[in-house]
Amino acid sequence: MTEQPTKQKLWGGRFTGKTDPLMHEFNQSLRYDKRMYAADIAGSIAYAKALARVGILTQEEQRKIVDGLTAVCKEWEQGTFKIHADDEDIHTANERRLTELIGPLGGKLHTGRSRNDQVATDMRLWLLGEVRAVEKGLKGLIRVMVERADKEKDILMPGYTHLQRGQPIRWSHFLLSHAFAFRADLERLQQLIPRISVLPLGSGALAGNPFAVDREFLAKELGFESVAENSMYGVSDRDFIVEFMMWGSLAMTHISRMAEDLIIYSTAEFGFVTLSDAYSTGSSIMPQKKNPDSLELLRGKSGRVFGNMSGFLMTLKGLPSTYNKDLQEDKEPLFDAVDTISASMQIAEGVIATMEVHGEKMRQALTMDVLATDLAEYLVRKGIPFRETHHVSGRAVALAEARKCQLNQLSLQDFRSLHEQFDQDVFNVFDFEASVERRQSIGGPSRKMLERQISVLREALAK
């Protein structure tokens, strides 16, 4: 008498030998894809309804399957779901438990459906929920930056290029420069949603569904914006995962660049900001140290997200059409990217909300040489070409350096020795507040323009 296996895998009818235990472990994805349990059950409930609509299930069978799936979901939520050794992934685990609860009727649920279109649906459905959470976190970060900028418009500081002092700006202008990068990230994330929200369910293994299930009904039931128009594309497409991780790589790059600025500004040499204790650590050997570890971690995490994206692209680049098991490698990098990005948004928001800003220290860093451009513009207003006034201003800077004094400490005679158009009113140039307020064009650091920027960002948050 032939020995019968005590437990047969869902795909096991073709096979007579046993799976190598190492191969089973190598193939198993439940340890990480179980976090999609709710998406998988939601897709199965919708599919049961679609099967009932075409007569594959009776209304009573549909009810029993839906009730069974609801019970399975509750077990996951309550932490009582018992994983079996033969559960390969979240799909087989849920179907196995459903069959235990309602008997052989559970086997009808897979009619016309493949794990190929099932997993693609689960991934999209799960990611849609996560994207909305990431969007909320990104908005929270932008909002705290906007509110802080609104309250701290009086603080002046040097603006830097090449990490050299360039021109006077407002602290709020600096803060909003990063907020606008995040606003662009918000727009890109929102534009990505329709490309995630494409229903694969009903594509079968690759050749479509033979029972004429209503895929538009499925899309509406699950909240998808559209239906995958080609079944081969439907089961194999993972561009939405790559695109999300590309989006995340850019968003994390923006977080990293802001973190770098704040790390520099928090040094004793600058002293512009101090991070709260909640987002700092000390040194194991140097008692005086207060390290900006939160910002350094944010800077480091950007590389991690980019690595997830580039690694998965290497998995995709040589795959033949439709489903290949290589695609199982989509989950871990995506899950890690989502977790990292979500946490980073929250940490960045906390850092910005709680850090102390030292306005007096910023003002002390403003030296008169940052008004050299204003000096050139003074002569422009008297009709002198800018190329000439730039040269004159440069000579004035050189003269002040030679005299070891500030620009405003040169005499009127000194200025007139450089150009005859200088007059007593040249000394009105040497006013940091006036310099900032002269920049009234859109995008400038004047109060009026900052209020405009804040209004634009608040409008983006309200959408």
List the beta strands (DSSP E) in 61-211: 156-161, 164-170, 198-199
C-alpha dist (Å) from residue 148 to 142, 144, 344, 352, 371: 10, 6, 19, 8, 27
Say if residues 321 and 243 touch (Cβ distance below 8 Å). no
Catalytic pick among 162, 284, 411, 441: 162
Tokens of 226: 């559209």
Kindly give, in sequence order, each residue whose CB lies less than 8 Å from that of residue 174, ignoring residues fewer than 6 positions away. Answer: 157, 159, 261
Q: What is the DSSP string of 331-354?
A: HHHHHHHHHHHHHHHHHHHHHHHH
**Residue 274: closest CA among 397, 361, 388:** 361
Say if residues 176 and 152 touch (Cβ distance below 8 Å). no
Question: Is there a catalytic annotation at residue 419?
Answer: no
Q: Compute the distance between CA of residue 106 and CA of residue 124 in angstroms, rounded to an integer.
A: 24
Say if residues 273 and 262 touch (Cβ distance below 8 Å). yes
Question: Is there a catalytic annotation at residue 342?
Answer: no
State the greatest distance between any 2 C-alpha atoms of the chain, in Å, as a whole number.
115
Catalytic pick among 84, 226, 276, 283: 283
Q: Compute the distance between CA of residue 77 and CA of residue 80 in angstroms, rounded to an integer.
A: 8
Say if residues 301 and 344 touch (Cβ distance below 8 Å). yes
Which sequence positions are flagged as catalytic? Answer: 162, 283
